[in-house]
Amino acid sequence: MRVKSIVSAAVLAATFSCSTTFAAAPTTSQVITTYADIALATYEDALTGARNLQASIDALLQHPDATTLAQARAAWKAARVPYQQSEAYRFGNPIVDDWEGRVNSWPLDEGLIDYVDSTYYGDASDENTQYRANVIANTSLRVGGTQIDATDITPELLANTLHEIDGIEANVATGYHAIEFLLWGQDLNGTNPGAGNRPASDYSLEHCTGGHCERRRDYLQAATQLLIADLQEMVDNWKARGTARQQLLKKDDNAAIATILTGMGSLAYGELAGERTKLGLMLHDPEEEHDCFSDNTHWSHYYDAKGIRNVYQGSYTRIDGSTVEGPGLSAYVAAQAAAADANMQAKLQATEEAAQAMVDRAVQGETFDVLIGVGNTAGNQLVQNFVDALTEETRAIEEIIGQLKLDQVQLEGSDSLDNPAQVLE
Amino acid sequence: MKSAPSPLWPLLLGISLLFTAVGIVHAAPSQQQWKTLNHSLVEEHILPRYQALQNSTTQLSASTAALCQQPDQDGFDQVQKDFQQTMDAWQAVQHIQFGPIETLMRNFSMQFWPDRKNLIGKQLSLLLQQQDPQTLSIDYLYKASIGVKGLPALERLLFSGTLADFENHSYRCQLTQTIAAYIAENSHATLAEWRDDYRHSIATAGSEESYYENHQEAAVDMMKSLIEPLEAIRDQKILRPLNGGEQVRPHRLESWRSQRSLRNIQLNIASLSELYSGTSHSVDTLLREQGRAAQADNISTLFTTLERQLRAVQAPLVISLNQPDTVSQLLQLSDSLQLLDRELSAEMITLDIQLGFNSRDGD
C-alpha cells in the first residue's frame, strides 16, 4: 500500500475553493465561551471524582481488606474518566500545561515512593540517584550533598520537596499515578495479562505487609489531599473570572481559535499517538503504558481522544449524565470550510472506533501492555491502528489551520517564543 | 507511518507576526522551483549521506564479526573506531526523518534516544543475563524492542566493556555482532528504497506514481528536516543536560559513553548548514530568487556563528559540562539555535510552507 505523506494545508487551501457562509456561523466569542464552559464542567467533574476517591480511600484505611481496596481502585478509575477528557486543554493553555506535572506526571520511577521488586526494575539508574529512595521506608534521604528530613509525610513534603527531587522528572511524588502505584503496586506480569497486585494489608496497622504501613497510609492520604487541592485550583481558573478563561478572552479571535486547535493537535499527535502509544509499541515494554500499575491505559486513551472530540464539537457529557454544550468549533469551521469540517468529523469518529477496539480487547483480558508485547502481531496492529487514526486526525487539524489561515498566529506558551534570544553579539 | 514520535515540546505552528514583514507580499515559489530544489537535495544531499551510512555500517558489521572470530586488542580498537565512523554517518543524516527511514520504524531502531527511564540499560542487561541463543538473530531483532537493537545499545556494549568481555565467543560479542549486522541491513534497505523508489516518488510528485500530491508537498518534508532538528538539538542535546540551572547532568548527553556528544552537535549543524545552502539549488538560492536576500544572508551568518561557537567548546562534553565556562557557551549556542529556528520559520511563511504539528512536545 502506498502511504500518503503529509498534506500541507497550504496546498489543500489552494486546491479547495471554500465558500464563506455566515448564516449559522457562531462568533469566536461564542466558541470560546463554550470551550471554557466545557473546561469548567470537566475539571469540576474531575474534582468530584477525586473527592469520591478520597472517601473510598478513607474507607480503605478504616478497614483495609480486599473489598475496600477494590472499591478504592474502582474510584480511581472513575476519577480518571473526566480528568482524561480535560487533557485537550493542556497544550495551548500555558496555565494548564504548567500545572499538569503536579497531577498527571508520567512515567515515574516508583522506587522513590515505596518498595519495588528489583528483578526487572533494577537497583540503579543512569539518570536518577533517587531511583530506590523509598521514602515510605526511610525517614531521611540523601540528595547530592544534602540530607533531607522526611520524618513526617505531609502534602508539603510531597509537593515541595519530593516531587521532581534532584531536578529529575521521573521522580513523581504526587498526582494520579503516584496514587495509582499506592493502590495497585508494581505490575509484575510483564507483557502477560494481569495488573499490579498490592495486598490491602499494606495499609493494615495490625497485620502490616510491605513494612511501614503507617507511613504508607500517610502518603496515600497526603497525595489524595494534594490532588483535590490541585484540581480545585484548576476549577477556579475556568470560572467566570478565572485566569485561564480571562487569558483566552483577551486573545485576538484567531489566536483564541488557534489555541483550541493547538491543544487538540498537540495532544493527538506528539503526546497521545507518540509518547504514550507508539513509543510503547516500539519498546514492547510493559512499563511504557500510561496507567502501568492499574492496566487502565485503554480507558485513559479512549477518554483522551474523547476530550478532543468534546472540544471540537462543543459538547461534553458530564459524569451525572447531563450535557454541557454550546456553539462549538465544528460549527465555526463548517461555516468557513465545510469539507475540512466533514473530514475532521470523520477522523474523530475513526479515532474513537480505534480506541474502542483497544477497549474491547482489554475487556477480554488483552490490556495495553499485552497488546504491545513482542510477537503479538495482531495486538501490535490494533495499537498501531490507534496511532494511525490519531495521525490522520492531526492532518485534519492541520488542514483546518491552513484553511482558516491560522498558521501565522503567534501561539503563546511555545517555549520558542517565550524567550526572545539575544544573540549575534 | 507518518508519525515520528520522539520526545518532545509544544509545537510552534507558525511564526510570530513580529517577523512577518507587514505589507510585503511575496509570490510563493512555483511547482517548478520546488521540483528543482527537491532534485538537488535528493541527489546532492540525501543520497550521498545514506551511501556513507551504508558504507560505514557495512564496515562495522564486518569488523565486529572479525572480532568475535578472533578477539584481540587491535580488533577491539578497530570496532570502536568503526562505531565512531558509523555514528558520524548517522549524525550527518539524523535530520532526515521522512521516507524509507520511517518505514518499519527504522529511525527509532537506529537510535532510541533520549532514554529517560533507562530502558536500554534494563532491557540490555536482561538479555545479557538470560543469554538466550534465540536472541542472536537478525530476525529476532526485527521484532525486538528499539531499546536493544540500535546504536545506543551498541555503544553500551562496546564502551562499557573491555576486550575480555568479547572473548571466547561470548554472548556479548555475538549480540554486538548481530546488532551491527542488523544496523547494516537497515542502512542498506534505506538506501536501496531511496534509490529504487522514493527518489522517483519525489521527482514525479503530482503523478499517480508519487506519494506526493505536488512538489511543494514534497518540499514540506525537506523543510521540516531543516527546521525541526534545531529545536530538538537545543532541547535534548543541550538544555536537558544543562538541567535548567540546577546541577548539570552529563549522563543526559547523547553518546556520552563514546565521548562524542559535542561532535554529534557539530555534525548536525554542519549537515543542516549544507541542507540550507550547500547544494547547487538550495533553500538559500530559493530565498534569493524570492527577493529575500537580506534574510538569506542573515541565516547564513547564523550558521557561521553556530559553527564558530561550537568550535570554542571543549571536548569531551561529558567532562567539560561541569565547568561554568562550558555552561555559558552552551547557553549562547542555545540562543543562536533559537534565533536561527525563528528566522528560518519566518521564511517558511514567505515560501508558503506550513510545517504543521511535530512529534515533539513534553511531559
Say whether A8 and B301 touch across the interface (CB within 8 A): no
State whether A398 and B249 contact (CB < 8 Å).
no
ipTM over 0.85: no
- Share the mean pLDDT of chain B: 91
Name which of B133, B217, B114, B118 is nearest B171 in CA terms: B133
Give pLDDT, residue A411. 46
- Minimum distance, in Å, between the CA of residue A170 and any CA atom of chain B: 7
For the stretch A27-45, pLDDT in tens is 999 999 999 999 999 999 9
A402 touches chain B (CB under 8 A): yes
pLDDT tens track for B31-57: 999 999 999 999 999 999 999 999 999
**Quick one: closest CA in B to A143, which residue?**
B247
pLDDT tens digit sequence for B90-123? 999 999 999 999 998 899 999 999 988 888 988 9
Question: What's the angle, vertex CA A278, arms to CA A275 and CA A279, rounded to 5?
Answer: 60
Q: What angle do CA B23, A418, A267 make, to 5 degrees?
A: 100
* Chain A residues 47-76 within an 8 A CB cutoff of chain B: none
pLDDT beyond 70 at A7: no
Show me where the domains of chain B are located.
Answer: 17-350
Q: Which of A419, A329, A410, A308 is nearest to A33 (CA)?
A: A329
pLDDT score of B22 = 38
Read off the C-alpha cell for B87.
555514528
Rounded to whole angstroms, the Cα distance separating B44 from B287 reads 19
Neighboring chain B residues of A121 at a CB cutoff of 8 Å: 122
Q: Which residues contact B56 (CB under 8 A, 6 or more apart)?
A: B82, B85, B86, B88, B89
What letter represents residue B38's amino acid?
A: N
Q: Rounded mean pLDDT of chain A?
A: 90
Minimum-distance CB partner of A167 among B12, B20, B243: B243
Do the Cβ atoms of A274 and B8 come within 8 Å?
yes
- Identify which of A126, A375, A397 has the shortest CB distance to residue B143: A375
Using a CB-CB cut-off of 8 Å, the residues of chain B touching A106 are 363
Residue of A nearest to B345 (CA): A408
Q: What is the pLDDT of residues A285-314, one digit of tens each?
A: 888 899 999 999 999 999 999 999 999 999
Cβ within 8 Å, pair A6-B126: no
- How far apart (Å, rounded) are the C-alpha atoms in residues B53 and B50? 5
CATH topology (fold) of B17-350: A middle domain of Talin 1 (1.20.1420)
Rg of chain B taking only CA atoms, in angstroms: 21
For the purposes of burial, counting CB atoms within 10 Å of the CB of A425, is it exposed (0-12), middle (13-18) or buried (19 or more)?
A: exposed
Q: Kindly identify which residue of chain A lies nearest to residue B114, measuring between CA atoms.
A: A127
pLDDT at B235 over 60: yes
**pLDDT confidence band for B60 (50 / 70 / 90):** very high
Identify the pLDDT of residue A119.
81
Specify the DSSP element, H or E, that contains A9: helix A9-15
Strands A146-149 and A140-143: antiparallel
**Burial per residue of A361-393, b for 16 or more beta-carbon CB atoms within 10 angstroms, e otherwise:** bbeeebbbbbbbbeebeebbebbbbbbbbbbbb
In the stretch 93-132 of chain A, residues with CB closer than 8 A to chain B read 97, 100-101, 104-107, 109, 120-122, 125-128
For residue A93, what pLDDT is reported? Answer: 94
CA distance B287 to chain A (A): 18
Asked if residue B6 lies in contact with residue A283, where contact means CB atoms within 8 angstroms, the answer is no
Express each pLDDT in A169-218 by its tens digit: 899 999 999 999 999 999 999 889 999 999 999 999 999 999 999 999 99
Contact state of B357 with A394 under an 8 Å Cβ cutoff: yes
Put simply, the answer to whether A270 touches B252 (Cβ < 8 Å) is no
Q: Between chain A and chain B, how many beta carbons pairs sit less than 8 Å apart? A: 218
B121 and A394: CB-CB below 8 Å? Answer: no
Chain segment A247-281, per-residue pLDDT in tens: 999 999 999 999 999 999 999 999 999 999 999 99
User: Contact A25/A332 with Cβ under 8 angstroms?
Assistant: yes
Contacts of A421 in chain B (CB under 8 A): 335-336, 338-339, 342
Q: What is the percentage of chain B residues whose pLDDT exceeds 90?
A: 83
Does residue A59 contact residue A73 with C-beta atoms inside 8 Å?
Answer: no
Read off the pLDDT of residues B239-253 as tens digits, 9 standing for 90 and up: 999 998 888 999 999
User: A128: which chain B residues are within 8 Å (Cβ-Cβ)?
Assistant: 118
Contact B321, B241 (CB under 8 A): yes
| CB nearest to B117's CB, from A91, A100, A170 | A170
**CB-based contact B335 A421, cutoff 8 Å:** yes
pLDDT-based confidence at residue B26 (cuts at 50, 70, 90): low
Q: Is the pLDDT of residue A413 over 70?
A: no
Q: Is the pLDDT of residue A316 over 70?
A: yes
Q: Is A3 in the B-facing interface, judged by CB distances under 8 Å?
A: yes
pLDDT of residue A128: 86
Least Cα separation, residue A173 to chain B (angstroms): 15
> Which pLDDT score, from 0 to 100, does residue B36 have?
98
In chain A, residues with a C-beta closer than 8 Å to the C-beta of B301 are 424
The per-residue pLDDT for range B273-295, each reduced to its tens digit, is 999 999 999 999 999 999 999 99
Distances (CA, A) of B99 to A104, A394, B198, B231: 35, 19, 7, 21
A3 to chain B: closest CA residue: B211
A369 touches chain B (CB under 8 A): no
Q: Is the Cβ of A10 closer than 8 Å to some Cβ of chain B?
A: yes
- For the stretch A129-166, pLDDT in tens is 899 999 999 999 998 888 999 999 999 999 999 999 98
CA-based R_g, chain A, Å = 22
Task: Please list the helix, strand and coil fractions of chain A in percent, rounded to the nearest 5, in that order.
Answer: 60, 5, 35
Going along chain A from its start, the domains and CATH numbers come out as 9-412 (1.20.1420.20)
Quick one: pLDDT band at residue B80, thresholds 50, 70, 90? very high
Cβ atoms of A81 and A151 within 8 Å: the answer is no
Q: Given this model, what pLDDT does residue A8 score?
A: 38
More confident site: A75 or B168: A75
Closest Cβ opposite residue A11 in set B10, B147, B217: B217
Residue A141, min C-alpha distance to chain B (Å):
17
Question: Is A406 in contact with B15 (Cβ distance < 8 A)?
Answer: no
Checking if the pLDDT of B234 tops 60, the result is: yes
B305 → closest Cβ in A278, A419, A424: A424
CB-CB: which of A166, A273, A410 is closest to B16?
A410
